[in-house]
Amino acid sequence: MNKFVYMFDEGNGSQKELLGGKGANLAEMTRIGLPVPFGFTISTNACNAYYDAGKTLPTEIEQQVLESLTKLEEKTGKTLGNPANPLLVSVRSGAVHSMPGMMDTVLNLGMNDETVVGMAKLTNNERFAYDSYRRFIQMFSDVVLKVDSFYFEQYLEEVREEKGYSSDPEMNAGDWKEVIKGYKEIVKKHADRTFPEDPKEQLFLSIRAVFDSWNNQRAIVYRKLHKIPGHLGTAVNIQSMVFGNMGNDSGTGVAFTRNPSTGENKLYGEYLINAQGEDVVAGIRTPQPIVTLQNEMPEVYEQFSRTCNLLEKHYQDMQDIEFTVESGKLFILQTRTGKRTAQAAITIAVELVNENIITKEEALLRVDPDQLNQLLHRRIDDSYTRTPLAKGLPASPGAAIGKVVFDADDAEKFAKEEQKVILVRPETTPDDIHGIVAAEATVTSRGGMTSHAAVVARGMGKACICGCESLKIDLAGKQFRVGDTVVNEGDIITIDGSTGEIFIGEIPMIEPELSEEFQILLAWADEVRKLGVRANADNPTDAKKAVEFGAGGIGLCRTEHMFMDATRIPIVQEMILAETYEDREIALSKLLPMQQEDFEGIFEAMQGHPVTIRLLDPPLHEFLPDKDELLVEVTKLQITDPDSDELQEKEQLLRKVRQLHEFNPMLGHRGCRLGMSYPEIYVMQAKAIFYAIAKVKEKGMTVKPEIMIPLVGHVNELKQMRQLVINAGERVKEETGVEFDYLIGTMIEVPRAALTADQIAEEADFFSFGTNDLTQTTFGYSRDDAEGKFLQSYIEHKVLPENPFASLDQQGVGKLVKAGVQLGRATKPNLKTGICGEHGGEKSSIQFCHDVGLDYVSCSPYRVPLARLAAAQATIKSEQKQLVN
């Protein structure tokens, strides 16, 4: 005789083909000793036998179902159809592959005019019993008898209206009894038969309905779509129902095996006595914390906490468990891996290793690098009850407090007076950059997650909220409004860039720190990863932060940021305005000691780790005032003060601005092209670096400088700039008498550099892929224009899968990176290669960098921990892939 029906304690988790996914899972939970409401599974073979027999249930199967039912009745002490102690069951389909929505579930099967009376007595709740009964009639009729739910809904609506009720909770037991009568009439009319009162008939009809559903239109379409073969068939699970509302020794709840917000290894959850699952969710009664269950039902609590341990060991992770207690007896209804905060994810992963439940590698894979952002920025104290004024998009994480300003210049002005400000704008443009730099955070009422403000703020590790449309900003009146609330310039607000929330006033904050567990996890990541992780940092403060977060060096120091300082801008302008070489030299000689001091500070902070310094990159006009604004000022002065020196100065400035004006600055006079035109600028920078090296070395410290030439497109550019730097080095060595080593390399930022990397490598000690510019030049997009104008819509309409400035376009830009590495190494097998575009701090791009064999990634200091973890995950995943192949 073939076996078609399996009790839950006869199978296990590996029998998906036979028992279906759900059946195998229920069997597994039963097998490991969990108190799962008992039941049985009718196998997928039975489904095929049903079809083979021309859609009739072979007697052999019927027989086995009845035998299993008897076993279920014995085990539960309840009997199907017995009014004194009725067994009620659920009937659910369960295919090998999960096919959600293929067939609705039938709950409370076994209810009829007699058992409902028994239920009412047992639960001491007549209303509940009759409500459950009418639900059962509706569900059963819909799923099994094919009477559309619409008829029942419509009828119920009529009854409610007639009684003057507006919602179901107003219905009493008597009302439900009346509805049940009406429902049965509906069944008679639309199903051409009476509602089956015999529970066994209910059961067999339901089993057939599940088997039939395997070939309904929905299921066939679903299978085609997901390439699920039709011969697999579906299983049917019959499980006893349990009730948490059978009295004060019953209840229901939800619990996590560990605290999902802190990770603490302590049960966390809540429950309600004498209640059903729905009551917990509905929030009508306030549930009690799980610890009080220890006093209320000590034995149940004891069993529950033992079960939790068992579950964690079995599934090797923190579990989120639904349970019910029926008359003092514990049942586990469901268990799944629990969702958790970043802090909890780290703590749990580390502790599971210490408890010998998982390996270090598994622990490293358990934490999502993206989640770490939560922990690396200041954040609002968890104990604060939030009442936000408005909510926008969480564009850049972190929390900030400051006075509201509406203009980038004002932000700068306030910040100079040591006041903390938050810049609020409809949107930002590159002209607002100084305001974003000066402000603690930026808020915009327009724009998305990839808008200018969002991208810039993320790069700087500053909090930002975008697209907060409820903010009605009045720039002229220097105020914004949310409903009736008006916030004026100078008013204090707090923002949370991780949630997008804005609050009035000052809210308590928590400073970021790497917890002990976080440090442990990152140390494991360092043991595993092959990729180096460096930081992009332009000043000693950022450099220190980078070291603190575990960076192994600086991968990009953008020297132009050192020029932006308010005290230096006038000297930089003097240099740009110089009409003669001599005048330019004078200005440069003023800048040199300033740059030297910066480099000394950075070298000292980096404690002997390599530091990659990039020579000047942006076009010079970026250091001059805006042309239109200048024109307005000049015109005004021409009218009001035509003979003034100020007018003369401004006119000279305007001439220079016009002279330097470019049609496409992104593709214009910038990068090494500046060094080619004004070698004295690069010489000054090289000397400042070398003097700093000499000074720091004299203090007995180690320095590993790497000088980087930007935007090289032809090897000859690099050749000339390299010689320039070497000559400067030789002069400083002679002058100071100090010997030092350094590397000279280049950024690969334009396609031609990647495609001729074999030639470029002749002149380079290292390559650093500048994927911000390489993305711009490969796509032919100017980032500021693209993100402000069409990129968002491209992403929304799936023209592009993702923002290529955030996540590396592996198929296009990535191909150039790969070619660059291969060609470069064909010339110099040990050529050092890294990436310093924003992609160096994004997990999928980091995986790519690992796969193409880069030596390191470099990203903002705040993303260094994320990159360390992502790099470790990349190694583990690659090794796993190799094992499979």
The angle that helices 864-884 and 516-528 make with each other, rounded to 10 degrees, is 50
C-alpha span between 208 and 213 (Å, rounded): 8
Does 804 engage in binding with Mg ion (CB under 5 A)? no
Nearest distance, CB of residue 460 and ligand PEP, angstroms: 12
Question: Measured from the CB atom, is 263 or 770 closer to ligand PEP?
Answer: 770
Supply the minimum distance, in Å, between the C-beta of residue 394 and ligand PEP. 24
Residues with Cβ within 8 Å of residue 806, at least 6 apart in sequence:
450, 455, 838, 839, 842
Taking the C-alpha atoms of residue 58 and residue 3, their distance in angstroms, rounded to an integer, is: 12
Which of residues 373 and 772 has its CB atom nearest to ligand PEP in the complex?
772
Between 709 and 846, CB nearer to Mg ion: 709
The binder of 37, among ligand PEP, Mg ion, none, by C-beta within 5 to 8 A per type, is none
For residue 719, the surrounding DSSP H or E stretch is: helix 715-736
Asked if 803 is part of the footprint of ligand PEP (rule: CB under 6 A), the reply reads no
Q: What is the CA radius of gyration of the chain?
A: 35
By CB atoms closer than 10 A (0-12, 13-18, 19+), residue 286 is exposed
Taking CB within 5 to 8 Å according to partner kind, which of ligand PEP, Mg ion, none is near residue 94?
A: none
Candidates 403-411, 755-763, 768-776, 825-833: pick the segment binding ligand PEP (CB under 6 A). 768-776
CA distances from 766 to 555, 615, 692, 705 (A): 11, 15, 22, 12
Stretch that binds ligand PEP, among 298-306, 694-702, 771-779, 820-828 (CB under 6 A): 771-779
Q: Shortest distance, CB of residue 665 to Mg ion, whole angstroms?
A: 12
C-alpha triplet 405, 407, 409: angle, nearest 5°: 110
617 near ligand PEP, judged by CB under 6 A:
yes
Specify the residue, 317 or 773, whose C-beta has the smaller distance to ligand PEP.
773
Closest separation in Å from C-beta 824 to ligand PEP: 17
Task: Answer yes or no: 452 catalytic.
Answer: yes
Question: Nearer to Mg ion by C-beta: 175 or 749?
Answer: 749
Please identify, using beta-carbon distances, which residue of 665 and 770 lies nearer to Mg ion: 770
Query: 3-state DSSP call for residue 569?
Result: helix
Q: Does the footprint of Mg ion cover residue 326 (CB under 5 A)?
A: no
Tokens describing residue 835 = 């990436």
- For residue 516, give the amino acid letter: E
Identity of the residue, 538 or 773, whose beta carbon is nearer to Mg ion in the bound complex: 773
- The DSSP result for 752-794, as a single string, is HHHHTHHHHGGG-SEEEE-HHHHHHHHHT--HHHHHHHTHHHH
Among 773, 787, 842, 855, binds ligand PEP (CB under 6 A): 773
Q: In this structure, what are the phi and psi dihedrals at residue 21, rounded to the nearest 5 degrees?
A: -60, -50
**Residue 840 lies near Mg ion (rule: CB under 5 A):** no
**Position 11, amino acid:** G
Q: What does the DSSP assignment read for 57-82?
A: --HHHHHHHHHHHHHHHHHHT-BTT-
Residue 263 or 770 with smaller CB distance to Mg ion: 770
Look at residue 126 and give the partner it binds from Mg ion, ligand PEP, none, a contact being a CB closer than 5 to 8 Å depending on partner kind: none
- Which residues of 445-512 form beta strands (DSSP E)? 463-466, 472-474, 479-482, 485-488, 492-496, 501-504, 509-510
Q: Which stretch binds ligand PEP (CB under 6 A): 149-157, 575-583, 765-773, 844-852?
A: 765-773
Span 723-762, contacts to Mg ion by CB under 5 A: 749
- Contacts of 212-220 with C-beta under 8 Å, sequence gap 24+, read 212/55, 213/93, 213/102, 213/103, 214/47, 214/93, 214/95, 214/102, 215/51, 216/102, 216/103, 218/101, 218/102, 219/99, 219/102, 219/103
Q: What is the x/- site pattern for ligand PEP, positions 555-594, by CB under 6 A?
A: -x-x------------------------------------
Which stretch, 266-274, 678-686, 767-775, 821-829, contacts ligand PEP (CB under 6 A)? 767-775
Closest Cα partner for 291 from 343, 331, 340, 255? 255
Q: Which does 695 bind (CB under 5 to 8 A by kind): ligand PEP, Mg ion, none?
A: none
Q: Which entry of Mg ion, ligand PEP, none binds 771, CB below 5 to 8 A by partner kind?
A: ligand PEP
Answer for which of 402, 540, 610, 770 binds Mg ion (CB under 5 A) is 770
Residue tagged active-site, from 452, 609, 621, 850: 452
Residue 838 lies near Mg ion (rule: CB under 5 A): no
φ and ψ of 230, to 5 deg: -75, -20
Q: How far is the CB of 552 from ligand PEP (least distance, A)?
A: 18
837 touching ligand PEP, by CB under 6 A: yes
Rule CB under 6 A: say whether 749 interacts with ligand PEP. yes
Number of chain residues interacting with Mg ion (CB under 5 A): 3
Nearer to Mg ion, 206 or 536 (CB): 536
Q: Which of 400, 487, 521, 836 binds ligand PEP (CB under 6 A)?
A: 836
CB of 457 or CB of 556, closer to ligand PEP:
556
Which of the choices ligand PEP, Mg ion, none does residue 65 contact, using the CB cut-off of 5 to 8 A by kind?
Answer: none
Closest CA relative to residue 768, chosen from 760, 776, 759: 760
Of 222, 280, 283, 214, the closest CA to residue 251 belongs to 280
Catalytic residue among 308, 466, 836, 849: 836
Going by C-beta distance under 8 Å and a sequence separation of 6 or more, which residues neighbour residue 698?
738
Pick what 837 binds: ligand PEP, Mg ion, none; C-beta below 5 to 8 Å, kind-dependent: ligand PEP
Number of helices (H), then strands (E), belonging to the chain: the values are: 35, 31
Q: At closest approach, how far in Å is the CB of 617 from Mg ion? A: 6
Q: Around Cβ 363, how many Cβ atoms within 10 Å?
A: 23
Task: List binders of Mg ion among 657-716 (CB under 5 A).
Answer: none
Buried-exposed string 384-402: b where 16+ CB fall within 10 A, e elsewhere: eeeebbbbbbbbbbbbbbb
Residue 464 annotated as catalytic: no
Question: Does 772 sit near ligand PEP (CB under 6 A)?
Answer: yes
Q: Which does 840 bind (CB under 5 to 8 A by kind): ligand PEP, Mg ion, none?
A: none
Question: 536 vs 803, which CB is nearer to Mg ion?
Answer: 536
Write down the least CB distance from residue 772 to Mg ion, Å. Answer: 5
CB 110 within 8 A of CB 199: yes
Min dist CB 838 to ligand PEP, Å, is 7
To ligand PEP, the closest distance from the beta carbon of 769 in angstroms equals 7
Residue with tokens 């009422």: 445
Gap between the terminal Cα atoms of the chain: 42
Options 126, 517, 763, 773; binder of Mg ion; rule CB under 5 A: 773
Contact 263, 344 (CB under 8 A): yes
Q: What is the DSSP string of 722-758?
A: HHHHHHHHHHHHHHH------EEEEEE-SHHHHHTHH
Residue 234 binds which of Mg ion, ligand PEP, none (CB < 5-8 A, kind-dependent): none
In the complex with ligand PEP, the residue whose CB is nearer, 27 or 764, is: 764
The CA distance from 571 to 588, in Å, is 8
The contact pattern for ligand PEP, residues 44-63, with x = CB under 6 A and - = no contact, is --------------------
Identify the three-state secondary structure at position 481.
strand
* Count of residues that interact with ligand PEP, criterion CB under 6 A: 10
Q: What's the closest the beta carbon of residue 41 comes to ligand PEP, in angstroms?
A: 57
Binding residues (CB under 6 A) for ligand PEP: these are: 556, 558, 617, 749, 770-773, 836-837
Q: Which residues are catalytic?
A: 452, 836
> What residues make contact with Mg ion under the rule CB under 5 A?
749, 770, 773
